[in-house]
Amino acid sequence: MDGYYAWMIVATALVLMMTTPALALFYGGMSRSKSVLNMMMMSYVSLGIVGIVYVLWGWSMAFAGDDVGSLFGNPFDAWALKDVPWESYIGGVMFQMTFAAITVALISGAIADRVKLSAWVLFVPVWVTVCYFPISHQVWSTGVGFVSKHFGAQDYAGGTVVHINAGVAGLVLALVIGKRVGFGKEPMRPHNLTLTMIGAGLLWFGWYGFNVGSMVFLEGDGGEKDIAQFMSETGVTFLNTTIATCAAMLGWLAMERILHGKATSLGAASGIVAGLVAITPSCGAVDITGAIVIGAAAGVLCAWAVGLKFKVGMDDSLDVVGVHLVGGLVGTLLIGLFSTADAPGGIDGLFYGGGFGSLGDQAAAAGWAILWTGVLTTVIAFAIKFTLGWRVTEEAEVEGIDSDQHGESAYDLHSGLGGGTTAPSTSVLAKHTVTEGVNA
């Protein structure tokens, strides 16, 4: 089994790489140049905080601690990994930690350009503790967690736990925190699509750790059966993840072509992510047909969904709802239709003669996650709103949150006599003072 173990070292590092820098780039490129650094910081800080929190009490609440009413584990049982064997540090603790980190980081896209760093630093640990750890316990503590026990829904790598979860939280925060100054009036176009393209590519790369690394052994004794399962099941999840993503990219581009006449690179990047989101819960449940259909459906539906926010007038800035909630639901629910007993999951969905059972389970699981996170995130959001406060001043937002919150600007592309752009860079023309002892 050291082969499987070697894979899990890589898989864990890959998922960590998804938050920093991949997601930070994907989001950063879509924000304005005056707020790209703040956008990236939200991802980096999420990982920084969750990395510590998960080791202290996250693992205990999600898996190791004694179950409390099928809702979560006792945070103190395995506090700071007490009595947790080194063998499960990587495939267990660290692998799961990276999921928690990226889930909360995903939320940041909904509230771009307007949130105080301090508010975010407060939100991250509270939210993962109240929303993420419990849901991952409820869904993934097989036979123990609430969802697993009552609905036995399939969620291979986190359709409910990660994407619906983050999507709902993003929806709530976008509503509670409100729109950016000038939303719907001023242009808020992506400032650097090359960053978004890099981010999408690296997310795709890292997602193999995410999905293919999420295999659970049937035997778990490290024997022949486990190895055989490793060498066959991962083939299915890898292939499904790949073709669903390809189908979603093409689906999004086709939809754009129909709706707006042109297929865009932002559409390709977005389609990739939408497909990866939708195949996340379903990569172990469906066959090739199912994977292609789920991917294509996610691409088409998300491409349509991202336009809705302007209608309802909600500033879900980088479409966490349109991509992660919608994509997560597509993947979670379509399992009910396309799940097949010939796939590792071993359950037949409606179209494979399995009746409505699976569909019902999937819907129930999704509904429960939406309910739990919807309610609790609302409480957290208002609590912060009426205490610390979420938003930077309106002037700071107009001038740019990078300058206000971090005292930085992302670019200084003036290049003196060296050619290239000779745009007036304010800082180049600036007076530089090294404040003696500023650090003393």
Partner 1 sequence: MKLVTAVIKPHKWEDVREALEAFGVTGMTVSEVSGYGRQKGHTEVYRGAEYDIALVPKIRIEIVVGNDDADDVVGIIVKTAQTGRIGDGKVWVSPVDTVVRVRTGDRDDAAL
Task: Give the interface with partner 1 as residue ranges (CB under 8 A).
Answer: 187-190, 256, 259-260, 262, 264, 266-267, 270, 306-307, 310, 319, 322, 398, 403, 407-409, 414, 416-417, 419, 422-435, 438-439
User: Could you tell me the smallest distance in angstroms from the CB atom of residue 395 to partner 1?
Assistant: 10
The crossing angle, in degrees rounded to 10, of helices 133-140 and 357-386 is: 170
Say how far apart CA 242 and CA 354 lie, in whole Å: 26
Element (H, E) at 68: strand 67-68
DSSP for residue 246: H
Q: Give yes or no for a contact between 284 and 236, defined as CB atoms under 8 angstroms apart.
A: yes
Residue 434 binds a copy of itself, judged by CB under 8 A: yes
Q: Which does 28 bind (CB under 5 to 8 A by kind): a copy of itself, partner 1, none?
A: a copy of itself
DSSP for residue 417: G
Q: Which does 115 bind (CB under 5 to 8 A by kind): partner 1, a copy of itself, none?
A: none
Beta-carbon contacts of 282 under 8 Å, excluding residues fewer than 6 positions away, are 154, 156, 159, 240, 244, 290, 291, 294, 331, 332, 334, 335, 338, 339
User: Could you tell me the smallest distance in angstroms from the CB atom of residue 393 to a copy of itself?
Assistant: 13
User: Could you tell me the smallest distance in angstroms from the CB atom of residue 102 to a copy of itself?
Assistant: 13
Q: Which of 207/372 has CB closer to a copy of itself?
A: 207
C-alpha distances in Å from residue 306, one per residue of 49, 175, 265, 293, 302: 30, 16, 15, 20, 6
Using CB under 8 A as the binding rule, the residues of this chain from 286 to 345 that contact a copy of itself are 288-289, 292, 304, 306-308, 310-311
User: Could you tell me the smallest distance in angstroms from the CB atom of residue 171 to partner 1?
Assistant: 17
Element (H, E) at 72: strand 72-73
Q: Which of 145/290 has CB closer to a copy of itself?
A: 290
Among 143, 262, 386, 387, binds a copy of itself (CB under 8 A): 262
Give one DSSP letter per residue of 387-398, joined into a string. TT-SBPPHHHHH
Using CB under 8 A as the binding rule, the residues of this chain from 183 to 212 that contact a copy of itself are 184-195, 197-198, 200-202, 204-205, 208, 212
Site string for a copy of itself, 383-412 (x = CB under 8 A): ---------------xxx-xx-xxxxxxxx
Q: Which does 45 bind (CB under 5 to 8 A by kind): partner 1, a copy of itself, none?
A: a copy of itself
